[in-house]
Amino acid sequence: MAETQRLTRAVLTGLGTYLPARVVTNAEMAKRIDTSDEWIVERTGIRQRHFAAPHETAAFMGAEAGRAALTEAGLAPEALGAIIVATSTPDQAFPSTAVHIQAALVAFNAFGFDLSAACSGFVYALSVADAMLRAGQVKSVLVIGTEVYSRILNFADRGTCVLFGDGAGAVLLEAKEVPRTGPGLLSTHLHADGRLAEILYVDGAVGRKDHPGHLVMQGREVFRHAVTLLAGAVNEALAANSLSPADIDLLVPHQANRRIIDGVGKKLGLPPERVVVTVDRHANTSAASIPLALASAVADGRAAPGKLLLLEALGGGLTWGSALLRL
Ligand code: UT7
């Protein structure tokens, strides 16, 4: 009876990514600022990042990733219900990045909006899309993470400017009736603590001509909170679904620092081959990092239909959360 029971779930039917052509190695960063490949690799695991050219805006990259996701799903743009764009580097204060992407995709039956939750943006956006799909508000949602952090980096601060990169990733989620053991988002868990706002923030705003803002971070403080809070969100996801770490096929973490990723993997007791790492190639692409990591795991064959993935992220806010997704 329980196995035959069907329920509405948000099922991933398409995935797309976009990375700027320009690759900036640690050696190139070391020519510009007082740093070294050794320091960056040892402290973060980062070896290179992509930096956007002037035409590669958040909307441009998000549209490229979104188009690829729609194509993979075989969904016509006019059939799309909604677009949610997780970004903290929008091109304008308004209109939203989402409406620019809607126009680029010719998806005129979709409504859209941006969601601001820094590096947790993609997990937050998945959660909102999941609720909209299960409530029957729309049949499909394009969830996009797109970021151009190179435009908000302070290149006079070597403690932050080596850590971030640009890129975009998108998933198409569609409402489908599936068996309990079938694919889709099983749960999402979101958290925020505004008391920690001052340890990671942008000291300006898109709307401020005099100072659009630079990223400011107390790295050690963020690090201190990261592993504990992420492990909490991950355990919450497992408990809510009566699962144990052994049930997880793949951890798809936000890619901020190799040491944080390994720390969470270790707490779960997962072997390295069940933890996706792309921070070496992409650095921290904030809201884009999880879909980029997911695409990498699809490409190497680890993320395949039927696999159970645990997604987690933490970022400015602080905000953090987790999502369990069966492909
Ligand atoms: O996605 C959003 C969430 N963000 C994160 O999760 C980031 C969390 N934090 C981190 O990943 C780490 O704290 C960092 C990678 C940012 C820094 O690593 P750390 O091991 O905490 O280093 P630190 O900030 O304590 O700095 C250690 C030393 C300092 O020198 P002194 O004071 O010990 O002489 C820094 O000045 O490393 C120095 N340093 C650098 N040296 C070479 C800082 N940045 C650099 C650099 N190159 N780029």
Q: Tens of pLDDT along 75-134?
A: 999 999 999 999 999 999 999 999 999 999 999 999 999 999 999 999 999 999 999 999
- The alpha carbon of 223 and the centre of ligand 1 are apart by a number of angstroms equal to 9
Q: Tens of pLDDT along 207-264?
A: 676 777 999 999 999 999 999 999 999 999 999 999 999 999 999 999 999 999 999 9
Give the residue range(s) of CATH 3.40.47.10 domains in the chain.
Answer: 6-179, 184-326
Residue range 184-326 forms a domain whose CATH class is alpha beta
Distance of CA 248 to the CA centre of its chain: 19
Residue 161 catalytic?
no
Q: Tens of pLDDT along 170-214?
A: 999 999 999 999 999 999 999 999 999 999 999 998 767 677 799
Per the CB < 8 A criterion, the answer to whether 77 and 105 are in contact is yes
Token pair, residue 114, equals 């941006």
- Catalytic hit among 50, 100, 214, 254: 254
Q: Is the confidence at residue 1, as pLDDT, over 60?
A: no
- The alpha carbon of 262 and the centre of ligand 1 are apart by a number of angstroms equal to 17
Q: Which residues line ligand 1 (CB under 6 A)?
A: 35, 39-40, 43-44, 119, 158-159, 162-163, 219-220, 222-223, 226, 256-257, 260, 284, 314-315
b/e map 96-127, b = 16+ CB within 10 Å: bbbbbbbebbebeebebebbebbbbbbbbbbb
pTM above 0.85, yes or no: yes
Q: How far is Cα 189 from Cα 26, in angstroms, rounded to an integer? A: 35
Three-state secondary-structure class, residue 314 = strand
Q: Is the confidence at residue 2, as pLDDT, over 90?
A: no
Residue 254 catalytic?
yes
Q: Tens of pLDDT along 42-66?
A: 999 999 999 999 999 999 999 999 9
- The alpha carbon of 312 and the centre of ligand 1 are apart by a number of angstroms equal to 22
Q: How far is Cα 158 from Cα 155, in angstroms, rounded to an integer? A: 7
HSE-CB for 213 with a 13 A CA cutoff: 17
Q: What's the confidence (pLDDT) of residue 206?
A: 75
The edge-to-edge listing of strands for the beta sheet with 6-18 is 6-18, 166-179, 140-148, 82-86, 111-115
Residue range 6-179 forms a domain whose CATH class is alpha beta
Atom 20, ligand 1: which residue's CA is nearest?
A: 43
Q: Among all chains, which residue has been given the structure tokens 């993935």?
A: 309
